[in-house]
Chain A
Amino acid sequence: MSEAIEKIKQAKLEYKSDVKPTWCPGCGDYGVLASFIKALGELKIPTHKLSIVSGIGCSSRFPHFVKGYNLHTVHGRALPVALGVKIANPELEVFVIGGDGDGFAIGGGHIPHVARRNPDMVYIILDNAIYGLTKGQVSPTSTLTMTTTTTPYGALEPPLNPIMLLLAYGASFVARGFSSNTKQLTQLIVEATRHRGFAVIQVISPCPTFNMEITFDFVRERVVEIPPKHDPTNKLKAFELAMVQDKIYTGIFYREERPTFEGNLDKIVSKFDGNIDELSKKERLEKLFEQFA
């Protein structure tokens, strides 16, 4: 057993896997990876208790670069996969990491349902307002009139507002960070992980290769920390901050304490004293057959 403990100790120090990131030089996602690993160290989460789940995209390559019991799934489905991991083993620290297309376009139908369930997990959206992996198509957070490979005459759709959506859907922790501000981002990830419930961080993480509009400079010029006087338990005020267009607020917009989904599921099982041994289960099953005789 001491060997196992030794392994745990080492694991804490070695979050980086031996797969090297394949991101373009200068990609915002490097800053997020660095912040994430720092946050894990601060939280002292052992890698065997860590589960990172992603969909498909440049950002969704994330779980290959960090040691853990990870899943690199299909485009847009990371959230419901992660929900399964969490309910089957609530002991695991579950993170979902992916892009704006993965989360808000193809996977957009899952966010409201995971949000209202409130499983204890962290969802980090690496928002570059473009489809990176597929080389530069428009995304749900691209700006109106933005030209991309599939909108050569300018995007016709206004971007959606992720923070407003998350607040409306009932995410119990909503924050925004910027990939270049790793100090703040690390703290946001730590806070989100400590939060019991569904915590979402939209990280503005520019794609210097394909997005010529939302660049590092563009973001730097507009980014402002949420004023310290903001009360994050006030949802109306959170909405007000989220509506601001000319500035990009970073920090925690909103947080609330609510029972978790896996906790509620466990309550149903406990109500029936469902975690009985195999022999008792057999007896119980025989009794259930009686009801159909």
Chain B
Amino acid sequence: MSENGNLKDVVVRIGGEGGEGVMSAGEILTYSAARSSYRVFTFRTFPAEIKGGLAMYQFRVSPYDIFSMGDKLHILMAFNQEAFDNYSSALAEDGVLFYDPAECKPLDNFTRKKYEVPLKELAMASGTHLAKNMVATGFLSAVLGIPIEESEKQIADKFRRKGEKLLQQNLNAFRSGVEYAQKYLDELKRFRLGKPEGKDKRVILSGNQAIGFGAIAAGCKVAVGYPITPASPILEFLARHLPKFGGKVIQNEDEISALATCVGASYAGAKVLTPTSGPGLALMTELITYASMAELPVVIVDVQRAGPSTGMPSKTEQTDLYHVVFGGPGEAPRIVVAPAHVSDCFYQTVKAFNLAEEYQMPVIILSDQVLAYQTEAIPKPNLESIEVVNRLEPDYESQNSYLRYKITETGLAPIAVPGHPGFEYIAPGLEHNERGAPNYTPKVHTEMQKKRFRKLDVLAEKLENENDDYYEVKGAKILIVAWGSTYGAVREAIEKAEMNGIKVSHYHPRILNPLPKRKIRNIIGNYEKVIVVEQNYNGQFANILRTFVDYNPIKLNNYGGIPFTSEEIYNKIIEVAK
């Protein structure tokens, strides 16, 4: 609570039947808030079908900086009974329910405050029952104090194409929602948001879109994919925008061919990306090791979803770590990058392309369902601040015979781009000598394995001296180690602990393979307790730490399909601190 008794931030969930416009209501509210400089986080789940099934849109909005989608709900807007039945238990002690009396009857044992909002009735009165979501949008705009003009502008943008009549009906519905809220406003004044801090330029992006932007900024020229939830929006974003930057985008017949086409394009000199999720990644495994063997740069985005097998496609997990670090025939070096939040998705994608070009191997970006769909109002990425790396090519004037796979101290040798006379070479999947010709002798295989893995050693050595992923708190006895999208929940849990007098440091590596082992040992050595927080059953990163730095941390795991709340992490900190 802030000084005047208002909430510092408000967590709102809208639930209804898929096809009832839950998503567009949420989007209008969040975009309006973000355009008015509020900080916004969103989280959504779709039913698997286009129409039918329960859909929900959750957002957290605050005038101050926030890091996660928040824990308990302050407001639930239920379009129907199913939304009430499924979500009412997520309400905080002092949370409130808004519901449409025509579609939903709260159970008798429901003890929170509840308010009727006749969505359907008001929508009909404005001309179409389809505008229920606009009534809800208007109502919530008024309760939260999100500028009405912004929301109206959004509605106008959305419906203008669909005709004047529909636009008017929706605007009317929105206004009737605003109007209806007036009678509760006094009672609900603690939900009214304060004036936002700062006025820096923000863009509203999902993790998927931020990855798309990162790819464009890094100079991606070919993107190929096969649709899969939750990665398809990356391919869709690039299909729309990459050609404007000279790029080509294809939907291929499967994930094997998607990576295959990327590998071919990379050989021909292009920067390439393929987005997928666990099941697609599984199909790509053989070619990942080919790219590693032939030493070709490729960027693969794995937007993790809950498995195994088809699992729960619209739910989240961090379960592909073992697969991306170790998976595939033989031992093939690759780099794994895990962005922590939406803004990071942009910068880590640029980094992933740079690393692929520099180290001539596959780089896998590990995102997940939450990060993919979470939209955040982030400071506009600074294009001037980013460095773009291109592969090292040979001196084409040189008369020396070209050895593509020359054994060097760093393991790296220049890559010739096709079209240059005298530098023809074959990209082999077979073990090969320095020229690329097949060679199966023990000596060559041993030397070549060393050469390929040496590239990872060079990178790991660089990472030993980078410290921007370590958030040290002086005097802390507890360290949390986490990776990927758990970042926000960890940050907020640490803040809460700090307010309660417990100091906690945080190490959130962005590169998960290779690892800077000395640095990690040093960090870990400073703490009495180390907790590894991750969304999987096994504690995959914890076990990797055990293997590579010989340390056995405390594990905090969650594998139900929904993201960690800061509360869960906070509770673990309290438990460990005792």
Contact = CB atoms under 8 A, between A and B. Distances in A.
Interface of A: 3-4, 7-8, 11, 18-19, 46-51, 53, 56, 63-64, 67-74, 77, 79-89, 91-92, 109-110, 112-113, 265, 268-269, 271-272, 274-276, 281-282, 284-286, 288-289, 292-293
B418 A82 contact: no
A285 B204 contact: no
Nearest to A271: B243
A277 to B, nearest CB: 10
Interface string B437-453: 11000000000000000
Given A69-B425, A81-B260, A64 B246 contact: no
Contacts of B427: 70-73
A186 to B, nearest CB: 22
A12 to B, nearest CB: 10
Contact of B256 (A19, A46, A70, A77): A77
A89 B419 contact: yes
A113 to B, nearest CB: 4
A81 B263 contact: yes
A281 to B, nearest CB: 5
B496 interface: no
A92 B418 contact: yes
Nearest to B241: A288
Contact of A73 (B217, B246, B263, B381): B263
A267 to B, nearest CB: 10
Nearest to A4: B421
The interface size bin for chain B is 35 or more
13 contacts: A7-B421, A47-B421, A74-B429, A77-B256, A77-B260, A80-B252, A80-B260, A84-B266, A88-B264, A113-B257, A274-B247, A289-B213, A289-B380
Q: Which of B209, B248, B261, B264 has the most CB of A within 10 A?
A: B264
A269 B264 contact: no
Nearest to A288: B241
B248 A269 contact: yes
A84 B420 contact: no
Given A19-B437, A77-B256, A113-B252, A284 B245 contact: yes
A113 B423 CA distance: 32
Given A83-B264, A89-B419, A272 B269 contact: no
A84 B247 contact: no
Q: Would you call the interface of chain B mostly helix, strand, loop, or mixed?
A: mixed
Interface in B325-367: none
Contacts of A286: 383
B82 to A, nearest CB: 33
Contact of A293 (B35, B252, B253, B261): B35
A73 B260 contact: yes
A46 B424 CA distance: 11
Contact of A84 (B253, B262, B430): B262
Nearest to A52: B426
Contacts of B426: 63-64, 70-72
The 8 residue pairs across chains A and B that have the minimum distance between CB atoms? A84-B264, A80-B257, A80-B260, A69-B418, A88-B268, A84-B265, A88-B265, A84-B261
B61 interface: no
A293 to B, nearest CB: 5
B209 A292 contact: yes
Interface in B246-292: 246-248, 250, 252-254, 256-258, 260-270, 272, 286-287, 290
B201 A293 contact: yes
Contacts of A56: 429
Interface string B405-443: 000000000001011111111111110000001100000
Contacts of A71: 263-264, 267, 294, 426-427
Contacts of A18: 437
B418 A109 contact: no
B512 interface: no
A217 to B, nearest CB: 33
Interface in B291-310: 294
A48 B294 contact: no
B381 A274 contact: no
Given A109-B253, A112-B253, A293-B202, 4 more contacts: A11-B421, A88-B267, A92-B419, A281-B246
A4 to B, nearest CB: 6
Interface in B62-81: none
B204 A67 contact: no
Q: Interface centre among A19, A112, A269, by most B CB within 10 Å? A: A269
A249 B409 CA distance: 56
